[in-house]
Structure 1
C-alpha cells in the first residue's frame, strides 16, 4: 500500500496542472458566452474542459487509498481538535474519490445505466464536508496563533516592578477607556493579518480552501453563482496547490 501511495503522489502535480487548465477553460468559456463569441469556439472550449475533467478523474483513480493512509496517520495526533478535523476530512476525501471513480467508470461506459447526476451530487457532498472540516482546522490554528500572540504581547506589557519587588496593579497604569467596537475590530483584523503574514502555509491553505468551497456550494445548489466565478475560484485554488507542490515548505502540516 505504501508503494502505491508513493506512485500515486507522482501524478498529483499533473492533476493539479490539468485542474488549473480545466477551470481556466471554464472561465474562458463563460467569458466567450458573455461576449457572444463564435459558437464553434465556445463549443470547442467546452469540449476541452470536459476532456480535462475526464482525464483528471483517471489520474485520481486510487486516491482513496492515499486518503485512508492519511487518516491512519492523523488519528494518532495528540491535539484532539486537529485529530478530529483531519481524520474525518481524510475519510470524506476517500469517499469523494470513490464516488469520483464510479463517475469515471460511468462516463467511459464501463458501468452502464449509471445515474451520473446522483453520483455527482454524492461526491460533491463529501467534498463539501471535507472542505468545511479543513476550514475549521485552519480557523482553529489561526485562533491558537492569535492566543499565542496575545500572550506574548501581554508578557511584554506586564506592569513594572516597584521597589519592594512587587508589581503595580493593572488599574494603576494609565489605560485608555474601553475601545469602541469599530476600533476593536480594526485592531483584531490587524492582528489576524500580522499572524497570517508570518505563517504563509496557513495563509495559503486558508485561501485555497476558501476558494474551493464555492465549487461544491454551487454544484449542490446551496449557493449558486456562475461558471465564471466557479472557474476563477478553481483556477486560483489550483495555482495555490501547484505552489505548495513546487515549494513543499508552504504546505500546512500535519
Structure 2
C-alpha cells in the first residue's frame, strides 16, 4: 500500500498538476471550470424541478465567482503593462491596435470588477442602481476586449497564412537554406494553430458578456457549457506550459 501511495503521490501527472495549481492563473482556470459546470448543472436540475439540489450548485457557483474576483485583484496592472509593451514594439499596425484594444478592454473590465467585488463583500456600499451600472459597464469592457481579441486573431491568422504560402512557393537550392525554411514553416504553423485555438476560445467566451449586457438571451445551460469548455481549453494551455518547465 505504501508503495502504491508513493507512486501516486510522486507520479509525474501529480507533479505537473501541482505546478499548474501552484500558479494563480492555474487555480483561477480550475475554479472557473467548476463555476461554469455548477452553472450548467444548476440549470439542468432546475429544468427538472429539483430546486433544492439546484440551490446547492447555485451557491457553489456564486462563491467561486466571488473567490475568482479576489484572485484577480491587481491583475489590471498586468494589462496596462501589456499595453505599454505593445506601444513600444513594432509590427503589423492592425494587430498592434487590436492588441492594445484587447488589453485596455480587459483592464477596464477587471478594474470595474474590483469595485463589484468590494461592494459584494460590503467593503463599501453602492446603491443598487449604481452597482448594476458598474457591473454592466464591466461586462461591456469584457465584451470589447474579446471583440478586439477576435479581430487580432483574424488579422494574425491571415498574415501567417500569407507567410506560409510565400515560403511554400519559394525555391531553395542550398540544403542549409531548405532546412531553415522548414524550421520557419514549422514555427509559422505552430503560431497559426495557437491563433486558431485562441480564436475558438474567444468565439465561445464572447457569449458570456454578451448575455450579461443583454445582446443575446441564452439560458444558463448554454452559457455554462460555453464557460466550461473555454475554462478547460485555458487549463489545457496551462498544463502544456507546465510540462515545458
Partner of 1:113: 126
Structure in which a larger fraction of residues adopt helix: 2
Partner of 1:99: 112
Inter-partner Cα distance in structure 2 for 1:198 and 1:131: 19
Q: For CA contacts below 8 A with separation 6 or more, give which structure has more relative contact order.
A: 2
Q: Is the 8 A contact 1:201 1:249 kept in 2?
A: no
**Residue from 147, 172, 179 that aligns with 1:132:** 147
CA RMSD, aligned part only? 2.2
Q: Is the 8 A contact 1:76 1:83 kept in 2?
A: no
Matches for 1:143-222 after TM superposition, within 5 Å: 143-152=158-167, 199-222=192-215
Inter-partner Cα distance in structure 1 for 2:33 and 2:242: 21
Confirm or deny that 1:63 pairs with 2:56.
no
Q: Is the 8 A contact 1:30 1:228 kept in 2?
A: yes
C-alpha deviation, 1:49, in angstroms: 0.6
Change (3 A) 1:197 1:35: farther
Inter-partner Cα distance in structure 2 for 1:198 and 1:87: 20
Partner of 1:244: 237
Partner of 1:179: none
Partner of 1:225: 218
Structure 1: runs of 5 or more not aligned? 1-8, 157-194
C-alpha deviation, 1:128, in angstroms: 0.6
Q: Is the 8 A contact 1:197 1:203 kept in 2?
A: no
Q: Secondary structure at the match of 2:88?
A: coil
Structure 2: runs of 5 or more not aligned? 1-21, 172-187
Q: Is the 8 A contact 2:164 2:189 kept in 1?
A: no
TM-score, structure 2 as length reference: 0.77
C-alpha deviation, 1:106, in angstroms: 0.5
Q: Is the 8 A contact 1:208 1:240 kept in 2?
A: yes
Partner of 1:164: none
Change (3 A) 1:249 1:77: farther
Q: Secondary structure at the match of 2:125?
A: coil
Partner of 1:29: 42
**Residue from 213, 222, 227 that aligns with 1:234:** 227
**Residue from 59, 65, 81 that aligns with 1:53:** 65
Q: Is the 8 A contact 2:160 2:192 kept in 1?
A: no
C-alpha deviation, 1:35, in angstroms: 2.0
Confirm or deny that 1:44 pairs with 2:56.
yes
Matches for 1:77-92 after TM superposition, within 5 Å: 77-79=89-91, 80-92=93-105
Moved over 4 A (4+): 152-156, 195-198
Q: Is the 8 A contact 2:33 2:227 kept in 1?
A: yes
Q: Is the 8 A contact 2:150 2:202 kept in 1?
A: yes
Inter-partner Cα distance in structure 1 for 2:211 and 2:194: 27
Per-residue CA distance 1:57-113 (angstroms, 9 max, x = gap): 110111111111111111122122222111121112111111000000000011113
